[in-house]
């Protein structure tokens, strides 16, 4: 399968800050690839380079096989962009926002109107066609930004935190639409802070940290490679954790991760680990046994969950 995006040793410097320190990755046609990472890890910088809003300082970036320094216009027309901030025009109505954008891509008025109607139906916004943007809730604005990104039938859609701030229903609706795009063969690149979103949508994930890529793989592969299958959350204040616990867990073949609000214990056999809690002085009512998930991988790889 062809690569839609290829990055080799991509670097970006803002003044004294090396925001990207030579990252390399490839995005395959038709896949949904997610970028995870703390605030400031370099995800948006990478996205902006892909859609041509930020210059490539170091390395090589190709989009649809074309090397980009600043993405040429004919490549831009193949990319749909959902930026982190909603940058809709508040003075225009919902449908006008789409039509103006269509005009920027060279759509004639009639064509833009037809496409706008189609997209408003796709995103469930028909009854808001003539509403003013400022009347829309955050979730509806997000849906409109996604509709706008699709106006030119892009083969690649880059979404920077597409569902941040949305309620669960709105998030599920966006996921459903993104899955539909995927079934149509559209390549999706997204950033997210929601591990569930990454698990639900992405075929492959890149975990970024301080301008580098720490790990890459499908959600399942990352869990298999970077953590044990079962987790016990120990939600007691750290000062009440029995002394020597980490050594006892390690001696039983498990691992311990300290997070800001407690401890996570990992094991190949969750039931067996659970059975040992009492003997280690941990009250079971303050513990929760569950399968390990992507959040465990993220916390482990990027440093225990403290804020940057
Ligand atoms: N235009 C800019 N000028 C100066 N510094 C910038 C600029 N854009 C980003 N940075 C810095 O580069 C680093 C990477 O920022 P970037 O926005 O790519 O991170 P991110 O992973 O997308 O974070 P978030 O999850 O908060 O969106 C940060 O330290 C940020 O402050």
Q: Is residue 41 lining ligand 1, measured as CB closer than 6 Å?
A: yes
pLDDT band at 70 (very low <50, low <70, confident <90, very high): low
Distances (CA, A) of 116 to 19, 52, 87, 103, 137: 37, 24, 17, 11, 20
Long-range contacts of 50-55 (CB under 8 A, 24+ apart): 50/5, 50/79, 50/158, 50/189, 51/76, 51/79, 51/81, 51/158, 52/76, 52/79, 54/12
Which residue out of 7, 34, 43 has the highest number of ligand 1 atoms within 8 Å of its CB and is therefore the one to mutate? 43
d(C-alpha 303, C-alpha 301), whole Å? 6
CA angle in degrees (0–180, nearest 5) for 47-60-159: 10
Q: What is the mean pLDDT of the chain?
A: 92
Of the candidates 266, 192, 255, 269, which has an alpha carbon nearest to the alpha carbon of residue 37? Answer: 192
pLDDT tens profile 178-220: 999 999 999 999 999 999 999 999 999 999 999 999 999 999 9
Statement: residue 304 has pLDDT above 50: no
**pTM given for the model:** 0.92
- Confidence at residue 301, expressed as pLDDT on a 0 to 100 scale: 93
Residues 17-26 as b/e (b if ≥16 CB within 10 A, e otherwise) read ebbbbbbebb
pLDDT tens profile 122-155: 999 999 999 999 999 989 999 999 999 999 999 9
| DSSP conformation class of 242 | P
- Confidence at residue 293, expressed as pLDDT on a 0 to 100 scale: 96
Statement: residue 9 has pLDDT above 70: yes
* ipTM higher than threshold 0.90: yes
Q: Is residue 42 lining ligand 1, measured as CB closer than 6 Å?
A: yes
- Confidence at residue 1, expressed as pLDDT on a 0 to 100 scale: 66
How far is ligand 1, taken at its centre, from the CA of residue 87, in Å? 18
């Amino acid at each position: 399968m062809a690569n839609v995006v290829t990055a080799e040793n991509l670097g970006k410097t803002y003044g004294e800050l090396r925001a990207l320190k030579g990252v390399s990755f490839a995005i395959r046609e038709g896949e949904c690839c997610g970028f995870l990472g703390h605030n400031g890890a370099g995800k948006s910088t990478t996205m902006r380079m892909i859609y041509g809003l930020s210059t490539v300082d170091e390395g090589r970036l190709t989009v649809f096989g074309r090397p980009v320094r600043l993405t040429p216009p004919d490549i831009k027309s193949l990319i749909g962009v959902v930026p982190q901030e909603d940058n809709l025009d508040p003075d225009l109505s919902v449908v006008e926002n789409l039509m103006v954008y269509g005009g920027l891509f060279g759509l004639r008025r009639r064509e833009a109107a037809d496409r706008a109607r189609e997209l408003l139906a796709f995103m469930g916004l028909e009854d808001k066609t003539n509403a003013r943007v400022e009347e829309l809730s955050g979730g509806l604005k997000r849906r409109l930004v996604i509709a706008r990104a699709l106006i030119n039938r892009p083969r690649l859609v880059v979404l920077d935190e597409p569902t941040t701030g949305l309620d669960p229903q709105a998030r599920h609706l966006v996921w459903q639409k993104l899955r539909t795009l995927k079934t149509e063969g559209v390549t999706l690149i997204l950033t997210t802070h929601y591990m569930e979103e990454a698990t639900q949508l992405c075929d492959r994930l890149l975990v970024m940290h301080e301008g580098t890529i720490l790990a890459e793989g499908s959600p399942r592969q990352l869990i298999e490679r970077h953590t044990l299958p079962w987790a016990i959350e120990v939600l007691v204040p750290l000062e009440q954790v029995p002394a020597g616990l980490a050594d006892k867990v390690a001696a039983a073949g498990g691992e311990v991760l300290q997070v800001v609000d407690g401890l996570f214990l990992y094991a190949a056999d969750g039931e067996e680990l659970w059975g040992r809690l009492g003997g280690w002085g941990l009250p079971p009512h303050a513990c929760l046994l569950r399968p390990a998930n992507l959040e465990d991988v993220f916390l482990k790889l990027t440093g225990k969950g403290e804020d940057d």
